[in-house]
Amino acid sequence: MRLPAPTIRLRLTLIYGGLFTVSAAALLAITYVLVNHQYTGHFFISSGRQAVVAKRFDLTALPKAKALLLSPPAKNLLVADPKIELAAAQGQSDAALHKLFVDSAFALAVMALFSLWLGWVIAGRALRPLRTITETTRDISASSLHRRLGIKGPDDEITQLGSTVDALLSRLETSFDAQRQFVANASHELRTPLTLERTLLELALSDPNASIESYRHTCEQLLAVGEQQERLIEALLTLSRSQRGLADRQPVDLAAIAGAATVAAGHDGLVVDTRLEPAQTAGDPRLVERLVANLVSNAIRHNVADGEVEVATETRNGRAVLTVANTGQEIRPSELDRIFQPFQRLDGSRTADGTGLGLGLSIVKAIADAHDAAVTTEARPGGGLRVSVAFPAL
């Protein structure tokens, strides 16, 4: 015989039935003890129309039993032989206790079976929402992440579990959509330089009057295109590495990193204002360096002639804060969230124009999320952007 699977419903049924059986057995045991005590205490034995009050004693102590009769004999009182009266009383009490034990055991067995059946029904009704969650979640696949459980009812543990699963499905749907969009964008960005390389090679080979100088020029163009591909692949790898999270954390000095990144980026005729106060945090130094470098280079690239760039670090409210601001074109508040998406520009154009990859701020957001840092953006009056990244302080 194959035993049933140890499901939660079966375990709950056994628990309900076991608790009821133990409680009922304890109640019957207490009842049995109380009744047994009553039968072995004072009780009445009828004899004709009169009664004798007797007490149960060892039959070897009959003189003492006779002496303990509760009242002196009255007129016309019929007194039986004490030995016979005590034996009859003992027989009656034993028979009554035996019948009580048998009836109680039978009632306990019946109620135990009933409690198991009732526990099975109640456990099934209580676990029905869980079965609905399991079946619906099993049916949902990557192509149907838009579906939701929609568990309704009182705000109990089952409803909270359903809401948690719905929130998880919503995040998965967003993640899958972002992944598909990212793959499509990355494929487009990689296809463009590959097409350019093929075109350059075909033109060079189809020219019957090609010279060494023309071949050299073609090779230089191919090297430039290859360099752009390398930068794109490196940016994609950095973005992927940031999204996986951190394996180890080390002390990081935001002020030192911001100062080095500002010097390395160059000014290009811009006014750079640095206010670098101590700001210690913990994380991956290479990723933090990439975050700061992307913010600084983005502030310099998307600026106006004779514009300004502000780079500041400080410790505020228990967090290490990096702030980079610049002058530039006016930005609508509705566009602030879109600038952190991969391969996006404020004017909606693609990025294959040689000025950037369109991944700078996406990498910033991914690195910040990996370090449990909060990124806030603010459109400056008159044009430009202010980006603040608040890291947990060391």
Residue 321 has pLDDT above 80, yes or no: yes
* Residue finishing a domain among 244, 267, 300: 244
Evaluate whether 299 touches 324 at the Cβ level (below 8 Å).
Answer: yes
In one-letter notation, the amino acid at residue 133 is I
Closest CA to 369 of 274, 241, 273: 241
- Residue 3 belongs to a domain: no
Domain final position from 244, 262, 288:
244
For 165-170, what is the mean pLDDT? 82
Whether residue 26 is found in the same domain as residue 127: yes
Residue 1 in domain: no
Range of the domain at 315: 248-392
Its sign, for the CA torsion 259, 261, 262, 264, is: positive
Residues 113 and 86 in one domain: yes
Q: 137-165: per-residue pLDDT in tens?
A: 777 766 677 777 777 777 777 778 888 88
pLDDT at 81 over 70: no
Is residue 306 in a domain?
Answer: yes
In angstroms, the CA 268 to CA 272 distance is: 10
- The predicted model gives 96-122 an average pLDDT of 81
Instruction: Name which residue leads in pLDDT, 286 or 55.
Output: 286
Residues 127 and 17 in one domain: yes
Structural domain includes residue 341: yes
CA distance 252 to 241: 18
Query: Does residue 318 sit within a domain?
Result: yes
* Same domain as 109, residue 49: yes
Q: Is residue 101 part of a domain?
A: yes
pLDDT for 42 equals 45
Indicate the residue among 205, 225, 244 that finishes a domain: 244
- Whether residue 80 has pLDDT greater than 60: no
List pLDDT tens digits, range 254-294: 999 999 988 888 777 788 899 999 999 999 888 899 899 88
Residue 304 has pLDDT above 70, yes or no: yes
CB atoms within 10 A of CB 276: 18
State whether 109 and 172 are in the same domain.
Answer: no
Residues 239 and 308 in one domain: no
Which has more confidence, 133 or 377?
A: 377
What digits encode the pLDDT tens for the residues 173-226?
Answer: 777 776 776 777 677 667 777 888 888 888 888 888 888 888 898 898 889 888
Q: 259 and 388 share a domain?
A: yes
H helix intervals, the chain: 8-39, 62-67, 82-139, 157-206, 212-243, 254-265, 285-301, 360-370
In this structure, are 159 and 40 located in the same domain? no
In terms of domains, do 320 and 333 share one? Answer: yes
How many angstroms separate the CA atoms of 210 and 357, rounded?
Answer: 33
Question: How many domains, in total, are found in the chain?
Answer: 3
Any domain includes 279: yes
Contacts of 297 (CB under 8 A, 6+ apart): 265, 360
pLDDT for 325 beyond 90: yes
Domain CATH for 155: 1.10.287
From the centroid of its chain, how far is CA 273? 43
**How long, in residues, is the chain?**
394
pLDDT band at 103 (very low <50, low <70, confident <90, very high): confident
341 with 369, same domain: the answer is yes
Same domain membership, residue 51 and residue 183 = no
Please, are residues 290 and 363 in contact by the beta-carbon 8 Å criterion?
yes
15 and 130 in a common domain: yes
Residue 147 domain-assigned (yes or no): yes
